[in-house]
Structure 1
């Protein structure tokens, strides 16, 4: 039986979930072609706010990567817009031609509503709908003293405002109505939310009518009707969305507010289905993800010829702003036939309000304490009579039926169809079944098999309670987290078995340790490649295909597909000859941007991929080597000028920094490693927020470790004090080698140190001279096989470079 041709327009969350269901149930029924206007596949748009704030990376929110599409034989045409549908001939048209279909699914989503004011088209005015918007906002936030105005105090607007504030911008939120999130919150909860956000440094201006966006070449300010002007380098429009239905309208498909569909998600053309935010079902359009996932499941069943029906659903709302706990569901408007129950605790910042009619919950607003949201929501959907619990209802599930329930018993008492994960529409019964049938023991396992807690994460506590309730005494919250879905083994166990079994290739690891996937995945292959490089430096041949793109090409890929190159400047030192060489390369290859980095180096941005070998060659002739700015390895050693020039300097911090960097560069590590050496306690090189840092003092060198200044902000721990430069080098190398041997792939030093214990690190490095020397010697041995200059390797095609850092160490010590 030949496959039918299925064309899907829109590569978003709804169509992605539909394809998952389709491939699970009828994997051989369709040849699938997927069009997406964005130049990328399906990612979790719910999590764009954490990406904007810097709490997550884009890679962490990708739902379907290239391997997934390839495994399911999906023809991906991303960045290609479908411009027309010919229903009579059953074809779709794009700028590249026509494609026929047997079945067509329209999942075009929604378009942001842009208020029609003067200046709305100026550069610097953005919506908040996709990754391109996020990238533009991050770029704007990177400018000194940058200011943002967010128009719209709903869910998206507040998430954008909080994220931009975390990026360091001055942020003003303009909201037309009298209180924030008026569709989801009553005035009292809106007041608490305003108070919380203002406490974070975000200015809230309600009853604000935008008159114009001011500026000549780009947005510079926002003008209100009352004459108020707010300066703005960035203006974010977050005032609402509208179903994107133009292609359906042009094709003559029945459209009202959205594409009108029946219970099976069929449009007025039976061979064309529609799902997602572009859809209207029984006069309702949905913007939250749970009903969209219900649509996806029904559409997959319809395509497979199975019986299924989409039913109107109640939806609940949670705000994805770190530290703000808010839950809203149903209808909470006042009315003569309604009564309300309110609990206020001003000191604790807790507010709860239930709206009842005829002893049934119509609406719930919870602020500050939301653990009972799911329980209230379940009763709301079912129309449960709450007469018997009326007096204690507002106190939550734990206070019903006699003695108070602990949280685990409360979640165990929920019915199987109670919704646990609103983002992904996962009920309690599905999670419990997965735990028992698949032998799941931790949240990661539940997340992998059910998607519960895989989005905003607010239901993670409920999932943990379900695990405890289901497994009882067998539940171990400290159970091993698998490396990935290909193996039940954790990182530590894999590292132990690689050594104990003498496994020296990726295929050997996967065979001996019984990997479920023949070729591994994007999570485990880079990790295994690192572990084998670290454990068998003299025998294992580095597998470049198991590295991320930046490490494969030895340059940092940028959002436009070009690359940046950063030559190494030892300890931040340079010369006029080196600067001239960089200038010549910039001119020769027409490099558009040159940036001085925080690591005291020069970054050349916008280099074409085909120019990389020639750029490396020219820089190499001038004496430069790779700065490894792309690497899970040693990046930089930042220094101050120290005793050579500074009147406060106690030691030669520059000389020590250069010595450390020349000794350790080229070494791979579980994650990036940054060092710094400051010449005195004034700490101009910022050594106390680095992975490893040195503070020079009159009596020697104070060594620090386990700092962070990225997504997490953490001061270093003191490792100890040594008297000489040689001792400082030995201790620094030893602690990095300990991390290399024990760290999980992509685990920064501060996370590794917390996991193994700061005191244990001090014991092994400061107190046990034998262990310290062992770590040092193993690092020196591995450096004999390290890539001294990967740029040269890429140009010449060589795999290895002979290098003996011990000889360098002895030579420098002698001098």
Structure 2
């Protein structure tokens, strides 16, 4: 039986970006929907995924994770169906079918299905003890395993892999990080800052191997070792794969929507079907997909304006997104280019005493990249210079020292 309602908005997915979209939408003076229905494939309402690393390391608890209490949804008349994902979309009938077999009609559909962890594609990935670090259930499982296992190998030296490694180290495990690139955080840091970070994490007790990758996971039913591309074997009780994400596009692709790596959208976050929109990690805009929450928040704000009709000509315009994180107590900031080329100049400063490191990349008297370690307080100001394409010629010499010195010189 089709549950038909007029002026109904259905949202597929309930992660951080979907929740931000709901908050932006209900903040508008006029909401064009009498019914807002959210289908959430997880058992818990939207929670702060950024804090999963703190939960893994024991710095916070699950009670701090929910983004909004249940009363918030009731107050705004939003129906949330937990543990019930949308399994199929029929665009021409404007209906969705959920995992329970129920069929609902919509006037507008928003797909916010996020992404799934990338797989290594090697033998042994199916063994018990081979894990991801992506959601609350993964985190719960890693905490439980850390209480009865001693050794862990984390595959991936990006920010997610480093956070997983740091959390397991704090849980008392012996942790080895394997990273295919020549230095950690290679998408955010240059080789020098990557080495400084590696040295600092090694001093904390992590074992780090760069320029290496696994070829198979060994064991009968459970993992016992991992083999590397140089034939080295590392014995381990746990393998955490943190090598990136794959946009969840299948729901849209099976419905006939245009997809590349993700669900293709225009500047209004509209898919190839006029009544269906997508945002967050599952979408693709101008050939680009998104792995950070900040672009998703920008998309959520734009889409709320588009659907509420409150901002004439509302359009999503990507900006340089900064990576801000703290690994092993070391603040890291990165925005824009992280590798110099023949058209850039590098302004590099390093504080041997504190371990601080700054690498600013300049092109045609414009700041186009900033890498900071240690003291990252000037990061947001550098990000603004990058996004606003500011001419820095009048204070270029003072740029490495930060905003106060530059303002005095300008």
TM-score computed with the length of structure 2 as normaliser: 0.95
Q: Does 1:263 align with 2:264?
A: no
Q: Which residue of 2 aligns with 1:118?
A: 123
Q: Deviations over 1:733-784 (max 9, x none)?
A: xxxxxxxxxxxxxxxxxxxxxxxxxxxxxxxxxxxxxxxxxxxxxxxxxxxx
1:84-233 equivalences under 5 Å are 84-96=88-100, 97-143=102-148, 146-233=150-237
- CA distance in structure 1 between the aligned counterparts of 2:132 and 2:200, rounded to whole angstroms: 24
More helix by share: 1
- CA distance in structure 2 between the aligned counterparts of 1:30 and 1:253, rounded to whole angstroms: 26
CA contact (8 A) 2:6 2:106 kept: no
The alpha carbon displacement at 1:3 in A equals 5.7
Q: Deviations over 1:94-116 (max 9, x none)?
A: 23221111111000011110100
Q: Deviations over 1:389-441 (max 9, x none)?
A: 121111111222438xxxxxxxxx9xxxxxxxxxxxxxxxxxxxxxxxxxxxx
Q: Which residue of 1 aligns with 2:331?
A: 325
Q: Does 1:11 align with 2:14?
A: yes
1:392 partner SS: helix
CA contact (8 A) 1:49 1:320 kept: no
Structure 1's unaligned 5+ residue stretches are 404-412, 414-815
CA contact (8 A) 2:179 2:210 kept: yes
Runs of 4+ in 1 over 4 A off after TM superposition: none
Q: Which residue of 2 aligns with 1:345?
A: 351
CA contact (8 A) 2:365 2:392 kept: yes
Q: Deviations over 1:205-255 (max 9, x none)?
A: 001120111111111221102122222221110000111100000000011
Q: Which has the larger radius of gyration?
A: 1
Which has the larger displacement, 25-34 or 327-336? 25-34
1:381 to 373, 383, 387: 387
1:177 partner SS: coil
Q: Deviations over 1:450-472 (max 9, x none)?
A: xxxxxxxxxxxxxxxxxxxxxxx
1:385 partner SS: coil
The alpha carbon displacement at 1:352 in A equals 0.6
1:190 partner SS: helix
1:575-614 equivalences under 5 Å are none
2:27 to 24, 27, 30: 24
1:357 to 363, 367, 392: 363
The alpha carbon displacement at 1:290 in A equals 1.4
- CA distance in structure 1 between the aligned counterparts of 2:367 and 2:306, rounded to whole angstroms: 34
Q: Deviations over 1:13-37 (max 9, x none)?
A: 1110111111111357331111111
2:47 to 39, 43, 47: 43
The alpha carbon displacement at 1:330 in A equals 0.5
Q: Which residue of 1 aligns with 2:252?
A: 248
2:14 partner SS: coil
CA contact (8 A) 1:52 1:160 kept: yes
1:418-497 equivalences under 5 Å are none
- CA distance in structure 1 between the aligned counterparts of 2:338 and 2:64, rounded to whole angstroms: 36
Q: Deviations over 1:586-637 (max 9, x none)?
A: xxxxxxxxxxxxxxxxxxxxxxxxxxxxxxxxxxxxxxxxxxxxxxxxxxxx
- CA distance in structure 2 between the aligned counterparts of 1:205 and 1:85, rounded to whole angstroms: 45
Q: Which residue of 2 aligns with 1:633?
A: none
CA contact (8 A) 1:117 1:211 kept: yes
CA RMSD of aligned residues (A): 1.5
The alpha carbon displacement at 1:321 in A equals 2.8
2:340 to 327, 334, 341: 334
CA contact (8 A) 2:31 2:308 kept: no
1:201 partner SS: coil
1:402 partner SS: helix
Q: Which residue of 2 aligns with 1:34?
A: 38
Q: Deviations over 1:345-370 (max 9, x none)?
A: 22210111111111111111111111
- CA distance in structure 1 between the aligned counterparts of 2:367 and 2:136, rounded to whole angstroms: 38
Q: Deviations over 1:701-731 (max 9, x none)?
A: xxxxxxxxxxxxxxxxxxxxxxxxxxxxxxx
Q: Which residue of 2 aligns with 1:574?
A: none
TM-score computed with the length of structure 1 as normaliser: 0.48
Q: Does 1:239 align with 2:243?
A: yes
The alpha carbon displacement at 1:300 in A equals 1.3
CA contact (8 A) 2:7 2:32 kept: no
Structure 2's unaligned 5+ residue stretches are none
The alpha carbon displacement at 1:81 in A equals 2.0
Q: Deviations over 1:534-556 (max 9, x none)?
A: xxxxxxxxxxxxxxxxxxxxxxx
CA distance 1:270–1:89, change in 2 (3 Å): same
- CA distance in structure 2 between the aligned counterparts of 1:67 and 1:332, rounded to whole angstroms: 44
1:67-82 equivalences under 5 Å are 67-82=71-86
CA contact (8 A) 1:140 1:233 kept: no
Q: Which residue of 2 aligns with 1:560?
A: none
Q: Which residue of 2 aligns with 1:368?
A: 374
CA contact (8 A) 2:263 2:283 kept: yes
- CA distance in structure 2 between the aligned counterparts of 1:270 and 1:168, rounded to whole angstroms: 52
- CA distance in structure 1 between the aligned counterparts of 2:294 and 2:10, rounded to whole angstroms: 24
- CA distance in structure 2 between the aligned counterparts of 1:71 and 1:220, rounded to whole angstroms: 51
1:52 partner SS: helix
Q: Which residue of 2 aligns with 1:286?
A: 290
Q: Which residue of 2 aligns with 1:62?
A: 66
